[in-house]
Chains A and B, each alone.
Chain A
Amino acid sequence: MGAPIDPDPKINRYAHPERVVTTQWLADHADDPSVVIAESDEDVLLYETGHIPGAVKIDWHADLNDQITRDYVDAEGFARLMSAKGITRDTTIIFYGDNFNWWAAYALWVCSLFGHADVRLLDGGRQRWVAEGRPMTTDATHRTPTEYPLTPRDDVTIRAFKEDVLAHISHGPLVDVRSPGEYSGELMHMADYPQEGALRGGHIPTARSVPWRRAAQDDGTFRPLDELQAIYLEEQGLTQDDDVIAYCRIGERSSHTWFVLTHLLGLSRVRNYDGSWVEWGNAVRVPIERPDPIA
């Protein structure tokens, strides 16, 4: 029913090769009727400057988030979005985007909350597609709206809330994927994003620092399986059955790491704490660890 798995050797060594495709695979399958390509970017205008032919745009801010409550869209909102993008429940959705696929991974993760079965990331994202000189267009994509069923959002299996994280301290691994400066508390925000700040700096007690960027290569693609194993399994000591929670600042960089741990390394229980540091660092009376208290 869905599109075939990419036979690429690097992809096939991952735990779930059905979750990643190469640019070549996408070029070969872009017209497959079971495939819909979706672009999700940090810069909400980037799609309009040129996108992969036939790709639809999914705006992380306007499409996936509720516009009043800090939460994702509900079942009706998700079905409406999928329908408008011409996606059926059986569609193979290939996500790609700018900035190392942060928001593509985030959009994929949100679709996974609603149990959309066949979601995949384009390895290397927009950066690699463009670097290879593959076609881009500003032509508008028109897809026929579909009947997408109402499906409940599962907020338990791959999503963690602040209360879950509190209960998780000292019980399971927490992975802080922010930059070292954010982890140590020297930076109150990500470099270059001063507006997404918090009142307190530091990290959640017991969290280990594994910046998201370590999982990626300079061309935007994921590191091969053996290198990911060396980082997360050997160096960090994570195991297949660990109950892991990843967090960053607003949940997009940790979506990237969630994807790596879940789909590339095959860990069985990984949750993304989307409230992340913008919630934790502003919350009253939650524990915070800082290596060196300010003198």
Chain B
Amino acid sequence: MQFVYQSSVPTRSREPADMLTPALQEIVEDFQMSPREMRLQMLLDYSRGLPALPARFADAHDTLERVEECQTPFFVAVEVVDGHVHLFFDAPPEAPTTRGYAGILAAGLDGAMVDEVLEISPDFALKMGLGELVSPLRLRGMSAILARIKRQVVLHTHGATG
């Protein structure tokens, strides 16, 4: 299965309760279909699969935004190119849960259209059953990452359109 976003393809209309990109929707469904132990393993796989920070960000680390709500140093950068959103993360290996969440966002949102990212319902992590894995209290910290991504997307979009 592959999901390609092209600027000629308008944002598909989706049900209000289902504001996810197809890629993220598929990840959510994979988690929903899997037993707890499998979900842990999947989250770990996303943690391992998180792409490394490109050199242009690693060399200019202060251009990244620190997510203060995360207990460990966690940084995110957003680029918007031709209406497509690109995400970059720097998360330490000793925080695999947060890295895993970042890996899911990278796989589920990278390349998506601006509107699609802004429409992501922040409770998708709960729908995935992550709350049973990482305690509902900690889970809310993760939503701060998504909120900061959305804020950056808005900033970049306004910057681009003047």
Contact = CB atoms under 8 A, between A and B. Distances in A.
Interface stretch (A45-53, A80-88, A179-187, A228-236): A45-53
Contacts of B18: none
Contact of B69 (A49, A61, A62, A194): A194
A195 B133 CA distance: 16
Interface in B107-162: 132-135, 137-141, 144
Contacts of B137: 195-196, 250
B95 interface: yes
Interface in B76-107: 93-98, 100
A211 B70 CA distance: 21
A48 B148 CA distance: 28
Contacts of B141: 193-195
Contacts of B41: 48
A62 to B, nearest CB: 7
A43 interface: yes
> Which interface class (under 10, 10 to 19, 20 to 34, 35 or more) fits B?
20 to 34
Contacts of B68: 192
Contacts of A192: 68-71
Contact of B134 (A44, A48, A49): A44
B44 interface: yes
A294 B34 CA distance: 50
Contacts of B36: 62
B43 interface: yes
Contacts of A43: 94-98
A98 interface: yes
B21 interface: no
B40 interface: yes
B106 to A, nearest CB: 17
B100 A45 contact: yes
B134 A46 contact: no
Contacts of A46: 94, 96-97
Contacts of B71: 42, 192-193
A192 B97 CA distance: 15
A106 B96 CA distance: 21
Nearest to A60: B135
Interface in B40-78: 40-41, 43-44, 47, 68-71
A267 to B, nearest CB: 30
Given A46-B97, A61-B135, A195-B138, 7 more contacts: A44-B135, A45-B43, A192-B69, A192-B70, A195-B139, A195-B141, A250-B137
Interface of A: 42-46, 48-49, 61-62, 67, 98, 192-196, 250
8 contacts: A42-B71, A43-B94, A45-B43, A49-B47, A192-B70, A193-B71, A194-B144, A195-B141
Q: Lowest 4 CB-CB distances: which A-B pairs, in order?
A: A195-B140, A45-B96, A61-B135, A192-B71
